[in-house]
Amino acid sequence: MTQFSDLGLAKPLLKALADKGYTQPTPIQEQAIPTVMSGRDLLGIAQTGTGKTAAFALPILHRLAEDRRPAPRRGFRALVLSPTRELATQIADNFKAYGAHLGLTVATIFGGVKYGPQMKALAAGVDVVVATPGRLMDHLGEKSAHLNGVEIFVLDEADQMLDLGFVVPIRKIASQLPKDRQNLFFSATMPGEIGRLAGELLKNPAQVSITPQATTVERIEQSLIFIEAQRKRPLLAELLADRSVERAIVFTRTKRGADRVAKYLTASGIESASIHGDKTQGQRERALAAFKAGETKALVATDIAARGIDVNDVSHVFNYELPNVPEAYVHRIGRTARKGKDGVAISFCADDERPLLKDIQKATRQTIPSFDRRNDKGLAAAAAVADKLAPPERYVDPRRADPRNNVPSELRRKRNRPNKGGGQNAQGQGHGKPGGHNRGRNGGGNGQQAQGQNRSGGGDFRGPKRAAPSERWNPIDS
Ligand code: AMP
């Protein structure tokens, strides 16, 4: 068995790894670390949970430490692009932990927080910057940052970047990078557009592919419950009350849905919190900290908010609503059964979600064992109470639900408009106008988490082929 000490990493890195109790590299680390240390470009097909952050953080820190030089003012030596603030924070925390004995500097740049402290952090130059694309573009525009000093460029969760409409900003950022640099590119999946982007950015890359999905999925006890949509909340409360549920992530498709479910659970005496793109950074951090500390039993989250969040010991994942794209199902249930543990994933399926279920079962080549809890009188009574506790949202004027208002907050200032017809950006193309019976599900959200159906690049999963006009399926609010 390979040990970290066999990989030629600098001693302070080995010490930091020992501090964390890590002795053996994970498969992606074993393959990627020597490649990255040699200076070669890398294409990594891997998702969160495989140890991919250390797979790039360790050799980057090694390279920076071996060839010490000051970062240029307002510049940085290594740039990591991440799709979400949570993941950016987590990656930076990893760099700080592994680099604890190296004395290198690490900073994060993302939206939703003030510019001032970020400008200050960048002013003297930083060794490693972990950034979301929108806010980084803002800093480049304001000349509070430049990319002239970048020696190593990492693009993490590239497929997620595509879903969030970040491909154009990424190309703009890449065009400002020095030609002579090392590129590391990570993605859980390789839809066509992402393959093209990788082709543009990488030079003769080594390829590492870790697909833990199959094994992860095998270790997860999956089940499916057919249930009326309006009775999902009491059913969820009933299942969460079970003693076997230690810590659960509940996935909803919409931000409003997440709030509504969390409110209901809390009113039912189950400690819970919601986490999604409309929450402030502070709210998100507090919700996550309480969940990690075991103070809240259930974290109700949308796909993007949950992705990349590193929480171990999640005993259960509930798919309160099925995701629009089958691969999201695999990502979601992969939040349990981490680090070799087993987990339970329970999905709710209302009648109108059956086409999504079909897609999921086809993509994962399995039939999920199912139970039928429709026409359950106990749940019907509880559902009536549920509506009193957290009544359905009121009607939202469809004009307020104009998807063009829904650009990610980070891009709001520098919205990119090219490719209007191409559907490349997750800014609402292809989404039917909310119908007249919209009870609010389509409206209001800022669309930071727009996802799924806009994959334009001929990828593996293009989302459901049917139109998405119903009040349930608008991914803009997810
Ligand atoms: P990641 O895929 O980077 O999100 O990592 C998943 C989790 O595995 C994180 O909690 C890491 O701290 C942890 N981890 C990464 N590398 C190792 C390792 N070699 N041994 C044990 N745990 C690790």
Q: What is the tens place of the pLDDT at every residue in 423-456?
A: 333 333 333 333 333 333 333 333 333 333 333 3
pLDDT band at 341; cut points 50, 70, 90:
low
Using alpha carbons only, what angle is made at residue 315 by residues 310 and 320, rounded to the nearest 5 degrees?
90
For residue 366, is pLDDT > 90?
no
Average pLDDT of the chain to the nearest whole number:
80
Q: Distance from CA of residue 41 to its chain's centroid?
A: 24
Residue 377 has a pLDDT of 84
Largest CA distance in the chain: 70
Q: CATH 3.40.50.300: which residues of the chain?
A: 4-209, 220-389
CA dihedral 165, 171, 177, 180 (to 10 degrees): 130
Residue 41 has a pLDDT of 97
For residue 76, is pLDDT > 90?
yes
Percent of the chain with pLDDT over 70: 77
DSSP for 399-426?
A: GGG-GGG---GGGSTT-----TTTT-ST
Residue 193 has a pLDDT of 87
The whole-number average pLDDT for the span 177-204 is 92
Residue 217 has a pLDDT of 65
Residue 326 has a pLDDT of 81
pLDDT band at 461; cut points 50, 70, 90:
very low
29 Cα: distance to centroid of ligand 1 (angstroms): 10
Model confidence pTM above 0.85 = no
Q: What is the 8-class DSSP label of residue 188?
A: S
111 Cα: distance to centroid of ligand 1 (angstroms): 26
Q: Distance from CA of residue 249 to its chain's centroid?
A: 14
Environment class of 2 (CB within 10 Å of its CB; exposed 0-12, middle 13-18, buried 19+): middle
Instruction: Read off the amino acid at residue 31.
Output: Q
User: Is ligand 1 within 6 A of the CB of residue 48?
Assistant: yes
User: Is ligand 1 within 6 A of the CB of residue 186?
Assistant: no
pLDDT band at 338; cut points 50, 70, 90:
low
More confident residue, 163 or 263: 263
**Tokens 């990493």 — which residue?**
9
The whole-number average pLDDT for the span 52-79 is 97
The whole-number average pLDDT for the span 131-135 is 96
339 Cα: distance to centroid of ligand 1 (angstroms): 8
- Rounded Cα–Cα distance for residues 280 and 116 (Å): 17
The whole-number average pLDDT for the span 189-196 is 86
370: which strand partners? 224
| H helix intervals, 231-272 | 232-240, 255-267
Residue-wise pLDDT for 225-248, tens only, equals 999 999 999 999 999 999 889 999
User: Is ligand 1 within 6 A of the CB of residue 254?
Assistant: no
Per CATH, the homologous superfamily of domain 4-209 is P-loop containing nucleotide triphosphate hydrolases (3.40.50.300)
329 Cα: distance to centroid of ligand 1 (angstroms): 22
- Rounded Cα–Cα distance for residues 32 and 58 (Å): 10
CA-based radius of gyration for the chain: 22
Count CB neighbours of 145 within 10 A.
26
DSSP, collapsed to helix, strand or coil, labels residue 181 as: coil
For residue 38, is pLDDT > 90?
yes
456 Cα: distance to centroid of ligand 1 (angstroms): 32
Phi-psi sector, 425: left (phi>0), alpha (psi -120 to 50), beta: beta
Tokens of 330: 């695999």
The whole-number average pLDDT for the span 362-372 is 86
Report the DSSP pairing between strands 106-109 and 126-131.
parallel
- Rounded Cα–Cα distance for residues 331 and 436 (Å): 33
At the topology level of CATH, where does 220-389 sit? Rossmann fold (3.40.50)
pLDDT band at 308; cut points 50, 70, 90:
low
97 contacts 16 by C-beta, under 8 angstroms: yes
pLDDT band at 407; cut points 50, 70, 90:
very low
| H helix intervals, 148-191 | 158-163, 167-175
The percent of the chain in helix, strand and coil, each rounded to the nearest 5, is 40, 15, 45
Residue 272 has a pLDDT of 94
108 contacts 285 by C-beta, under 8 angstroms: no
- Rounded Cα–Cα distance for residues 54 and 31 (Å): 12
More confident residue, 319 or 381: 319
For residue 284, is pLDDT > 60?
yes
53 Cα: distance to centroid of ligand 1 (angstroms): 7
The whole-number average pLDDT for the span 257-269 is 93
Phi-psi sector, 15: left (phi>0), alpha (psi -120 to 50), beta: alpha
Residue-wise pLDDT for 309-324, tens only, equals 677 788 999 999 999 8
Pocket residue to mutate for ligand 1, from 53, 93, 331, most atoms within 8 A of Cβ: 53
440 contacts 171 by C-beta, under 8 angstroms: no
User: Is ligand 1 within 6 A of the CB of residue 310?
Assistant: yes
Residue 434 has a pLDDT of 33
CA dihedral 168, 54, 363, 360 (to 10 degrees): -90
Q: Ligand 1: which atom is nearest the Cα of residue 4?
A: 19
For residue 408, is pLDDT > 60?
no
Residue 158 has a pLDDT of 93
Residue 339 has a pLDDT of 62
